[in-house]
């Protein structure tokens, strides 16, 4: 076993790269590594599995907004909170497809449809399946995040051509009840298993900066990294504090600790795509760049996430150009 952490007593197993026997101690030892060693290791692993200078772009659309019966304390769409999101009904298919066309023109390769549901009702399924079929026929990969699923709903989505299903564990099991009380951690893991059994790719991650401890972040990553197989896609969200939600006044999170979390997600799940998800609007270009260096290789593009702001397309294009990402020519300096 190669010892990576020279300062700590705990030796970190480094081979094989992809494994499912992570312990909290391992994850904490990673958090304690010198920043440069950690980011260097994450970047090295990233390059073993993915092209070095490519960042995949997904586009999010809220197809059913607000009025959600769940009480997730970070979420402006919960009916339990007083955020200014107006509840809306399920969008019609033509409007969804118009958004998908715009997303494709803007360079997105995947289109993710989100709904503020605890779970879809069976009567919503035909419309959802039509949307998925329509988006797929435009040549985009499809993703949906609709809450908990029954096995037959998962199968219907798979048959409609859904490539990815997003369902986050959000935080550690220990911290979870501080954030959500209307469904359990176990419910979340069950949904992930249902998605996997239906043969779809799994997108599962969490949120950083909700007042959790480093041990909670370490534990959240252990839970994700011990899923077998690993989720193909792992979104790491920085909390977007929204007025009217219980987490509105949460203090700003340390950017370097966020970058560490991204790097550790990459080290623990090197063959998975780590997505730098919510929170980019609050980040500087330099902060985002450090996340890419730490192995994040996907972002949400377009001016809105579900209900909150995301960087304008032009700003993202300019950053991609400055970094020479996705074949952009590195511009001459002025
Ligand atoms: N209702 C479905 C569910 O919760 O599974 C799907 C949509 S829900 C908005 C998708 C994910 O967005 C949540 O699990 C959470 O990780 C993330 N999210 C929601 N609000 C957020 C916020 N204010 N900041 C960061 N991430 C957020
Ligand atoms: C994920 O992990 N983050 C995205 C997506 N999956 C669905 C959602 C972020 C939502 C941020 C708050 C909002 O815009 O309402
Ligand atoms: Fe509802 Fe999803 Fe928001 Fe929770 S995160 S309140 S389930 S929309």
Give yes or no for a contact between 134 and 100, defined as CB atoms under 8 angstroms apart: yes
**If we measure between CA atoms, which residue out of 70, 51, 90 comes closest to residue 168?**
70
pLDDT for residue 6: 56
* Closest listed residue to residue 169, CA positions, set 108, 217, 229: 217
Of 75, 280, 291, 313, which residue is the catalytic one?
A: 75
pLDDT tens-digit profile of 280-324?
999 999 999 999 999 999 999 999 999 999 999 999 999 999 999
- pLDDT, tens only, 42-59: 999 999 999 999 999 999
CB of 204 sitting under 6 A from ligand 3: no
pLDDT of residue 16: 87
CA of 77 to the centre of ligand 3 (A): 6
What is the arithmetic mean of pLDDT over 239-251? 97
User: Is the minimum distance from the CB of 73 to ligand 3 under 6 angstroms?
Assistant: no
Q: What is the mean pLDDT of residues 203-218?
A: 98
Instruction: Out of 203, 260, 280, 291, pick the active-site residue.
Output: 203
| pLDDT interval class at 14 (50, 70, 90) | confident
Residue 103 has pLDDT above 90, yes or no: yes
Would you state the structure tokens that stand for residue 308, as one six-digit string?
A: 């909150």
Residue nearest to atom 6 of ligand 3 (CA): 78
Nearest atom, ligand 3, residue 75 CA = 3
Condensed to tens digits (0 to 9), the pLDDT of residues 141-198 reads 999 999 999 999 999 999 999 999 999 999 999 999 999 999 999 999 999 999 999 9
Reported as a pLDDT band with limits 50, 70 and 90, residue 333 is low
**Sign of the CA dihedral with 319 first, then 324, 329, and 334 last:** positive
Higher per-residue confidence, 106 vs 101:
101
Residue nearest to atom 13 of ligand 1 (CA): 168
Percent of the chain with pLDDT over 90: 91
Q: Please tell me the predicted confidence (pLDDT) of residue 268.
A: 97
Average of pLDDT values for 206-227? 98
- Are the beta carbons of 156 and 104 closer than 8 angstroms? no
* Ligand number, closest to the Cα atom of 81: 3
Alpha helices by DSSP H, the chain: 24-31, 35-49, 93-105, 125-137, 151-160, 173-179, 185-197, 214-225, 255-268, 285-293, 313-323
Catalytic residue among 57, 143, 196, 280: 143
Q: Which domains does the chain have, with CATH numbers?
A: 2-325 (3.20.20.70)
Reported confidence tier of residue 10, pLDDT bands at 50, 70, 90:
confident
CA atoms of 63 and 182, how far apart (whole Å):
22
Instruction: For residues 73-81, give the mean pLDDT.
Output: 97
Is any ligand 3 atom within 6 A of the Cβ of residue 66?
no
* pLDDT score, position 1: 39
Confidence (pLDDT) at 331? 59
Is residue 203's pLDDT more than 70?
A: yes
Length of the chain: 334
What local confidence, expressed as pLDDT, does residue 201 receive? 98
Pocket mutation for ligand 3, best pick of 76, 116, 147, 239 (most atoms within 8 Å of C-beta) = 116
| pLDDT, the chain, mean | 94
Q: Which residues of 27-58 are buried (b: 16+ CB within 10 A; e: fewer)?
A: bbbbbebeeeebbebbbebbeebbeebebbbb
The angle formed by the CA atoms of residues 112, 289 and 11, to the nearest 5 degrees, is 95
- Tell me if residue 68 is catalytic: yes
| Rounded (5°) CA angle 249-301-329 | 125
How far, CA to CA in Å, does 195 sit from each of 83, 155, 164, 166, 170? Answer: 31, 8, 9, 9, 17
The ligand minimizing its distance to the Cα of 120 is 1
Give the tens place of pLDDT for each residue, 285-297: 999 999 999 999 9
**Arithmetic mean of pLDDT, 222-228:** 98
Cα(93)–Cα(214) distance, rounded to whole angstroms? 43
Mean pLDDT, range 257-277, rounded to an integer: 98
3 confidence band (pLDDT: 50, 70, 90):
very low
pLDDT at 334 over 60: no
């Amino acid at each position: 076993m190669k010892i990576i952490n020279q300062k700590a007593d705990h030796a970190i197993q480094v081979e094989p790269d992809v494994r499912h026997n992570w312990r909290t101690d391992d994850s904490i030892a990673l958090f304690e590594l010198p920043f440069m060693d950690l980011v260097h290791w994450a970047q090295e692993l990233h390059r073993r599995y993915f092209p070095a200078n490519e960042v995949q772009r997904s586009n999010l659309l809220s197809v059913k907004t607000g009025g959600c019966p769940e009480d997730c304390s970070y979420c402006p769409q919960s009916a339990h909170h007083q955020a200014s999101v107006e509840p809306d009904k399920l969008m019609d298919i033509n409007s969804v497809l118009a958004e998908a066309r715009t997303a494709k023109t803007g360079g997105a390769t995947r289109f993710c449809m989100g709904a503020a549901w605890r779970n879809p009702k069976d009567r919503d399924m035909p419309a959802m399946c039509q949307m998925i079929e329509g988006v797929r026929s435009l040549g985009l990969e499809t993703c949906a995040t609709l809450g908990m699923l029954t096995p037959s709903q998962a199968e219907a989505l798979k048959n409609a051509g859904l490539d990815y299903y997003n369902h986050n564990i959000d935080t550690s099991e220990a911290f979870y009840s501080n954030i959500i009380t209307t469904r359990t951690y176990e419910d979340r893991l069950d949904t992930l298993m249902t998605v996997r059994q239906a043969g779809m790719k799994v997108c599962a991650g969490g949120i950083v900066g909700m007042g959790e401890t480093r041990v909670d972040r370490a534990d959240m990553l252990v839970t994700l990294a011990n899923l077998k197989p690993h989720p193909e896609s792992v979104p790491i969200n920085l909390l977007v504090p929204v007025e009217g939600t219980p987490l509105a006044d949460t203090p700003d999170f340390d950017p370097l600790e966020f970058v560490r979390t991204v790097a550790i997600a990459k080290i623990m799940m090197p063959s998975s795509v780590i997505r730098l998800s919510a929170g980019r609007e609050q980040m500087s270009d330099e902060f985002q760049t450090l996340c890419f260096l730490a192995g994040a290789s996907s972002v949400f593009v377009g001016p809105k996430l579900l209900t909150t702001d995301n960087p304008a397309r032009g700003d993202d294009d300019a950053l991609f150009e400055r970094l020479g990402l996705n074949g952009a020519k590195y511009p001459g300096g002025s």
